[in-house]
Structure 1
């Protein structure tokens, strides 16, 4: 059994790991009664996320917040889905659905328990205002909010993972990155962080069940965040 007594900070990916972005967006689309496939619209919106960030990383776009990238993708989707009856205010409200994402059922309780022993913080590509609004909406009890915006670099840039350790005045190996995405955790490990994988098979909805097979390189593989609490408690 591994000893994680040196861990001082748990840094959490947010979209898909702590909050259920897919069902939140589907519900928003259905409430707006747009007469489109809400499931596919949510998936299409999310699939544009990484390519948009890559344009920033490649220098094709200047530094751009996730709110603005989400709006760029949304504008394209409105054309693609032939949605032309929304006012500018309605489009802004829809774009800010990312500020109102609901947590997975286990998230808040688990974070409250983890907060008793660790500094818990976000490490998300979401911009600071988005993450603050989301925390208030979903009652996520963060000690601190770290965003790509702090470092002017998106994950998987080492600046993000190492930046958390530097700003909290600890060594990288005293941070555990918690995420539902193996690529995020791989980049964190390369920076010397410990890693915990969270299984979220329904991240993309029930029509697209996600492969949540374990990766042996991760320190922990948890069914959800409450299971992470148990695994960390049992490691001492």
Structure 2
């Protein structure tokens, strides 16, 4: 780990509290707490349509809109289009976990830090501005035109930094994310989150309780 020059981070769940944020955003439009969970349940199935080749590459805003429309049908809610677009854009405004900004700021002193997210570049930039995430670069799905855990996402992120894979560490609260990163040669760090995986399932290079402890 002393050779690691860059850390790349999962965002939804690891870096930001998507659930608490989306419950709040949904409530603005009279939607129950259940709506946020149902919408998140659409996430992997919609990503899989791209991963499987059933749908050509589209960014996460498009997939979030498809998922939202499905959830509203299930709930019997008929929101106007402008409200649906506002809710999709709410994924650009998610609150960071309390330890994140200080932890990233400390890590930035010694390492390159960047998201390796399934969010697209515009979403990641807007989220960084909103949540004050001090990234050095924006990496992840859009530069690879693929969605994690497709190995191309991790490779493209390391390649964009011009670093050997073993000098890049993937940080996530998802064991499957770390397993995919390890499979292509990245180092791994697990940070638990209450809405994601709470325990490591493998001997990751680092297990830390918070981003501050990781730093």
Tell me the distance in 1 between the aligned counterparts of 2:202 and 2:22.
Answer: 33
The match for 1:171 is: 164
Tell me the distance in 1 between the aligned counterparts of 2:109 and 2:65.
Answer: 37
How far did residue 48 of structure 1 move? 0.8
How far did residue 119 of structure 1 move? 0.2
2:36 maps to 1:42? yes
How far did residue 37 of structure 1 move? 2.6
1:194 to 173, 187, 191: 187
2:128 maps to 1:142? no
1:219 to 202, 205, 215: 205
How far did residue 31 of structure 1 move? 2.5
Length-normalised TM-score, structure 1: 0.88
Tell me the distance in 2 between the aligned counterparts of 1:92 and 1:211.
Answer: 30
Aligned residues: 215
Tell me the distance in 2 between the aligned counterparts of 1:227 and 1:31.
Answer: 35
2:106 maps to 1:113? yes
Q: Is the 8 A contact 2:7 2:169 kept in 1?
A: yes
Tell me the distance in 2 between the aligned counterparts of 1:98 and 1:216.
Answer: 30
Equivalent runs, 1:1-236 vs 2, <5 Å: 4-32=1-29, 34=30, 36-38=31-33, 40-84=34-78, 86-201=79-194, 203=195, 211-229=197-215
1:112-163 CA-to-partner distances (Å, cap 9, x unmatched) read: 0000000000100111111111001111000000130111111111111111
CA RMSD across the alignment: 1.1
Tell me the SS of whatever aligns to 2:8: strand
Length-normalised TM-score, structure 2: 0.96
Tell me the distance in 1 between the aligned counterparts of 2:5 and 2:197.
Answer: 30
- Farther-moved stretch of structure 1 (113-122 vs 150-159): 150-159
Tell me the distance in 2 between the aligned counterparts of 1:215 and 1:45.
Answer: 26
Which consecutive segments of 4 or more residues in structure 1 shift more than 4 A? none
Q: 1:112 to 1:211 in 2, by over 3 A?
A: closer
